[in-house]
Structure 1
Amino acid sequence: GLWLVWFWGFFLIWVSLYSIRKLSEETAMRTQKGVVSQEFSITIFAGPRPFKGSIGERQAVALRSWLGLSETITVILFSKDPSVFSFAGSFAPRVTVEANIDFTFLGTPFFHSMVARSMASSSDVSVLIDPDTILLSGFMISLQYALKLDDDWLLVSVTQSSASNQSESRKLQENFTGGSSEKSCGDKMVIAWNNNGGTPLHHGAPPPFLYGKGVHNQWLVGEALNSGFRLVIEAGDAVSSFYVDEDNSAELAGKSTFPDLLRNRNWERHGNALLGKAYGSFSFQNANYYDSELMRLFQCGGHHLFLRPARNIVYPLEPIGRRRIAAASFPDQKTLSECVSSLESIEGCFSTDQLGLPKQVSLPLSLEELLSLLSDSNKTIVLGVAGYSYKDMLMSWACRLRRLQVHNFLVCTLDEEAYEFAILQGLAVIKCPSPPTDVSFDDCHFGTDCFRKVTKVKSRMVLRILKLGYNVVMSDVDVYWFKNPLPYLASFPPGVMAAQSDEYNSTGPINMPRRLNSGFYHAHSDGATVGALEKVVMHAAGARYGSEQASFYDALCGEGGSYAVGWDGCAEPETKLRVHFLDRELFPNGAFMELWERNDTRRACQEMGCYVIHNNWIRSRYLKLQRQLKSGLWDYDV
């Protein structure tokens, strides 16, 4: 109940204050002896959930415990939630919030992006931690010993859990008063490393793990061990940390409502497990590998010592290769033997049993639920369509939209591989209705049979969204956005579809036959537009050898341009929909003014005031990709 939350809040604050006082006493004594010094800076990084309810209270207690350990500690929180900014403001300047890393469409931070930011820190020590982990004095003492090492290091501690109910309160107090030696293992860990030499943590780049969703901590430790760049130290017996594991299984039992799906988000854990299987060596290592290869930092008879389990050797001031371990004086042989034999195995903490999950991952959200989550204040959705062969271009498009602060986009995938890829990349994604089954990997450009089949899927998806009451900006993933065009496009009134012109001649009408580009347009959710799109879909279904693009023009502008109005418009007589062909200087196609052939395409377009440029009028996926990469109009940083 609510009183339990308050009880735990006050109890944890008391524990934090008590540990801070003990830390000050211990540090003062040890500094006088010349053993340790607290003159080093620490930056703690975490990705909290919103500071609301009992979750927010537990996170607040945890953060206060961090700050209380030392005045040299600063905290950086990764979030976009207003409540996190508000909370951090109370602790400024020691606590700040950063939102310029990568997040999923639901706001979950990417672990690899957090690690990259943490590695760039200028502090002596970087720490990655779960936002509800309480840190006590043993953490600082462990860091002080680690900083005495001659070489770069990575320190890891598995965080203990304590359930938030009365039956567990006695056990928790015993843990801190020496009455119990039980330790639990889970996904939560404290991971710290020194930043002095700029040494990487491991070989290669980590996969797109989602922070706080399992596997990534174990994966990181395993890769660090295999890479051998740093001395990897397990310090669970020296670092004092824990979190309150609130049991809410009864609350969620039997429910599968939309809010519950957003809260549980089991697909995120499934995705991390799949990534753990596919990348690195974590899934191939035996769990006892970690038990034997990790260095152990532990306490014995009031001393901090290092143990190398693989050799069953405890190190005082003895050299290890080119590394030298600095430790306190040595306990007697009997005491030492008892301490080593009492150390708990950490094999279970790195078990790969958690990877025994389904081979595929899926997003349990319907189209209606996704639209309600994503749409902006105008009820507008940006729609992109892609198959697996265009996955890199899809990600460049998505990254560009994110940099422009355009988050109301949805991806419709043409195959299972692209669907799973998009989920693992944190995109809002749904499977396209009735996609073609034979999408070519390299031969799906304009004019091919594959292109004709794929384009017909797009108009069906747009029509489906329009009928649900949402406006649509259809944008092929080979359209590069220089700036956000949504406010401009929204200025066109209902009953008007604004579409890109595919006319390449610099002079003359831009609404010539078959020059309506169905790869970029804005459609209102109104009766005229829905009726006109139904005509397009019907026309495309009956045109066995024609593409959707041809059907768009013939259905909306008439065959041969019989419904054309002026140089830049059409008027469909039955639905009364008007089509406006967008200014090509603002929305150029791939052949207009040979912009792609310029030495500096970006500068040329920006001087014209371009909103977007389409990477079309070129054959083959490879040539299209090569042209975009060469121009520098690429935003996907793997």
Structure 2
Amino acid sequence: MKAFHVELWSIWLSGFVLILLSLYATQRLPSINKDHTSIFKLNKNDVLDSRYLSITIFTAPKPFMDSTGTRQTLAVRSWLALSPHVTVVLFSQHPSVASFASSFDSGLVSVDNDIDFTFLGSPYFHSMIAKSRSFPSDIFVIVDPETVILSGFISTLNHVYKIDRDWLLVASPQNASAQNILQLQKIRKQNWQRNHCHNAERMIMAWNNKDTPLHNGVLPPFIYGKGTHNRWIIHEAISSEFRFVFDASWTITSFNLNNTTFGNSARLDVENRDWEYIGNSHLGEHYGSFFYSEAYYSNLPKLLTCENRYIMFDTKKNVVYPIGHQGRVKLLKEKLFPSRLKENAMHCIDPQKSMRIMLDCSLKDQKKISASLELPFSLESLLSITADRNKTVVLTVAGYSYKDMLMSWVCRLRKLSIENFIVSALDQETYQFSILQGIPVFKDPIAPSDISFDECHFGTKCFQRVTKVKSRIVLKILKLGYNVLLSDVDTYWFRNPIPFLNSFGHAVLVAQSDEYQEQGPINLPRRLNSGFYYAHSDNQTIAAIDKVVKHAETSGLSEQPSFYDILCGKGGSNRVSDNKCVEPETNVTVHFLDRNLFPNGAYQNLWQDKTVKATCLKKGCYIIHNNWISGRLKKLTRQVLSGLWEYDPSTRMCLQS
């Protein structure tokens, strides 16, 4: 009963606040004809009419459920109330977000899921920024999904829009609770200095001209909302000097809704994902100059209003600049800044100067690096998270020399909406790289440690050691009750083969044929490719794979000959047709896949065809294997030049269509 009353109170309060926000935002919405011509005393020709100022607000909300959904709803509605020319883009994969967006008139709120996400659905900040450039807008804004924006936002943007250089605006929201949510007029002034530093990751950021970079260099793959990225980008923007960076917290009324405002959302809380914060900190340490130079929020130039005029106060130089005609930032001169206004400006600025010590929080003070970057998941828990409803997982194994090819493989599966994959990392570098790229990864504790960067291709001793890892992991997963599709990272997927492979049923191991001859049997000796096969988790298949693993352990070759010799017999003695074998002790059937649907790297010389992608699509290929080529660089070059590549290592993002 108590929980019922709490829920009723939450519904009542949220409804009341929605009405209040709507009325308040309507009253505070700047009037172009009145507000801008009389209060700000600008010539009529100098006013930028908000009717022609398009503003796109980007955010990445959590699912619209429970009190989290209530807070996010309040925030989005406050943004739309600012101006009829504000549109909102929500980056999310969750169905509740799409349902929320559909409740608005067409074009006001849209959902975009064509960016990079982690395997748990957290969006990547660098991918959000990159995607924002594809939207036509005068001003671009990124804001926390629970930040309500009220007065001053539109008028501030109208006046800074014509600054005579590109700019980046930041503004820190207040925290609000049920006790002060009704005192909207006072929120901007209450405890602002106390929260300014701590709200860094919830800052509003707005900028003009999408063609000018925000900063020099590469934006790391920060996970959005998990710390570091806002402070990092502000620091790098200041250092790069591509844009004029200033703080507009004093001219924009905004607040972030505390969790206590509308009850507890523990069920939806993901703030305990410590590794995401740790990962962002590691990235901030290794990219740019963020961790090697000092910067202070209090040193940012501050936009203020004084005597009904906008002025810019440079706290570091202790200089005031009026925003004069045509919106340009002018140097302090008598004819542009009369004596009377100078005196009043000093009156406006004195409180700022007195707060400088309180605001003098260093960016570096907030840089906290934890000792290790690890996922808190065992193999068993990763399988339970990633497996599909048929308990099937796609497994790949990779070392650091193949990290780019791994990412191309991952990006391709994500583009095909295949999420039930896991990665076994052969080394610590690959393990941490995969965590930072949002991949469900685990580290094999007994993987070989001396893996060569360039000399671990087919036929090398390194290759022989590495391949034996794969069958051993497959066996372990099968014993845990999951079906496994083992796929090397040098396979390119055209479409999802899992339903087709699963249709072969139990006690059938389905594998790619490595036969290059276009005519004749495809199950000849040593033609079973252990880089792409599907195994059911049943007693017969487990017993057969166990025999393969034991044979490979005593072999001086790779695991591939062990697969054929054990399952098909030495010399092919267990062959029963041109495309099958039957292992006699376990009665497991090995089915060699049709090469027109699953071509290897030598079949029909497809890789030599400049239109290999179009050719495979026409043939109806599920995958094509980039094997039958020696050397990592040659393999990599062939795949990139063929167009069968899905990852940009320079930006650490999947290529977007």
Aligned to 1:200: 213
Matches within 5 A, 1:594-605: 594-605=605-616
Using the alignment, how far apart are the partners of 2:384 and 2:270 within structure 1?
A: 13
Residues 94-151 of structure 1 deviation map (CA, whole Å, 9 limit, x = unaligned): 1111111111111111111111111222111111111000001111121111113122
User: CA 1:435 to 1:601, structure 2 compared with 1: closer, same or farther past 3 Å?
Assistant: same
User: CA 1:453 to 1:100, structure 2 compared with 1: closer, same or farther past 3 Å?
Assistant: same
Using the alignment, how far apart are the partners of 1:412 and 1:348 within structure 2?
A: 46
Q: 320-329 or 441-450, which moves further after superposition?
A: 320-329
Asked whether the 8 Å contact 1:287–1:348 carries over to 2, the reply is no
How many residues matched?
625
Segments of structure 1 that go 5 or more residues without pairing to the other structure are 254-258
User: Which amino acid is the alignment partner of residue 87 of structure 1?
Assistant: F
Asked whether the 8 Å contact 1:317–1:326 carries over to 2, the reply is no
Asked whether the 8 Å contact 1:111–1:208 carries over to 2, the reply is yes
Aligned to 2:590: 579
Segments of structure 2 that go 5 or more residues without pairing to the other structure are 1-5, 39-43, 652-657
Which residue of 138, 153, 159 maps to 2:152? 138
User: CA 1:176 to 1:263, structure 2 compared with 1: closer, same or farther past 3 Å?
Assistant: closer
**TM-score relative to the length of structure 1:** 0.92
Which residue of 291, 295, 317 maps to 1:283? 291
User: CA 1:27 to 1:588, structure 2 compared with 1: closer, same or farther past 3 Å?
Assistant: same
Aligned to 2:567: 556
Aligned to 1:256: none
Which residue of 27, 31, 34 maps to 1:29? 34
What is the CA distance between 1:407 and its match in structure 2? Answer: 1.2
Which residue of 599, 614, 617 maps to 2:625? 614
Using the alignment, how far apart are the partners of 1:304 and 1:175 within structure 2?
A: 20
Aligned partner of residue 203 in structure 1, secondary structure: coil
Aligned to 1:176: 187
Using the alignment, how far apart are the partners of 1:588 and 1:383 within structure 2?
A: 20
Aligned to 2:3: none
Which residue of 138, 154, 162 maps to 1:148? 162
Matches within 5 A, 1:234-313: 234-246=247-259, 264-288=272-296, 290-292=297-299, 294-313=300-319
What is the CA distance between 1:60 and its match in structure 2? Answer: 0.4
Aligned to 1:332: 341
Asked whether the 8 Å contact 2:227–2:280 carries over to 1, the reply is yes
User: Which amino acid is the alignment partner of residue 209 of structure 1?
Assistant: F
Using the alignment, how far apart are the partners of 2:222 and 2:401 within structure 1?
A: 22
Residues 576-622 of structure 1 deviation map (CA, whole Å, 9 limit, x = unaligned): 11000111111111111221122222123223222111111111111
Aligned partner of residue 44 in structure 1, secondary structure: strand
Using the alignment, how far apart are the partners of 1:47 and 1:98 within structure 2?
A: 10
What is the CA distance between 1:324 and its match in structure 2? Answer: 4.9
Aligned to 1:84: 97
Using the alignment, how far apart are the partners of 2:20 and 2:337 within structure 1?
A: 29
Using the alignment, how far apart are the partners of 2:327 and 2:88 within structure 1?
A: 35
Aligned to 2:41: none
Asked whether the 8 Å contact 2:458–2:630 carries over to 1, the reply is yes
User: Which amino acid is the alignment partner of residue 365 of structure 1?
Assistant: F
User: Which amino acid is the alignment partner of residue 556 of structure 1?
Assistant: L
Asked whether the 8 Å contact 2:74–2:148 carries over to 1, the reply is yes
Aligned partner of residue 284 in structure 1, secondary structure: coil
What is the CA distance between 1:23 and its match in structure 2? Answer: 2.2
Matches within 5 A, 1:520-599: 520-543=532-555, 545-599=556-610
Aligned partner of residue 636 in structure 2, secondary structure: helix
User: Which amino acid is the alignment partner of residue 411 of structure 2?
Assistant: C
Aligned to 2:655: none
Using the alignment, how far apart are the partners of 1:193 and 1:199 within structure 2?
A: 10
User: CA 1:177 to 1:131, structure 2 compared with 1: closer, same or farther past 3 Å?
Assistant: closer
What is the CA distance between 1:262 and its match in structure 2? Answer: 5.5
User: CA 1:618 to 1:69, structure 2 compared with 1: closer, same or farther past 3 Å?
Assistant: same
What is the CA distance between 1:305 and its match in structure 2? Answer: 1.1
Residues 325-366 of structure 1 deviation map (CA, whole Å, 9 limit, x = unaligned): 899987633432232232244866652233222243111012
Asked whether the 8 Å contact 1:384–1:477 carries over to 2, the reply is yes
Aligned partner of residue 58 in structure 2, secondary structure: strand
Using the alignment, how far apart are the partners of 1:467 and 1:612 within structure 2?
A: 27
User: CA 1:124 to 1:629, structure 2 compared with 1: closer, same or farther past 3 Å?
Assistant: same
Asked whether the 8 Å contact 1:274–1:355 carries over to 2, the reply is no
Asked whether the 8 Å contact 2:26–2:81 carries over to 1, the reply is no
Which residue of 363, 381, 394 maps to 2:393? 381
User: CA 1:461 to 1:622, structure 2 compared with 1: closer, same or farther past 3 Å?
Assistant: same
What is the CA distance between 1:169 and its match in structure 2? Answer: 5.9
Using the alignment, how far apart are the partners of 1:241 and 1:329 within structure 2?
A: 30
User: CA 1:621 to 1:319, structure 2 compared with 1: closer, same or farther past 3 Å?
Assistant: farther
User: CA 1:306 to 1:3, structure 2 compared with 1: closer, same or farther past 3 Å?
Assistant: farther
User: RMSD of aligned C-alpha atoms?
Assistant: 2.7
Asked whether the 8 Å contact 1:318–1:324 carries over to 2, the reply is yes
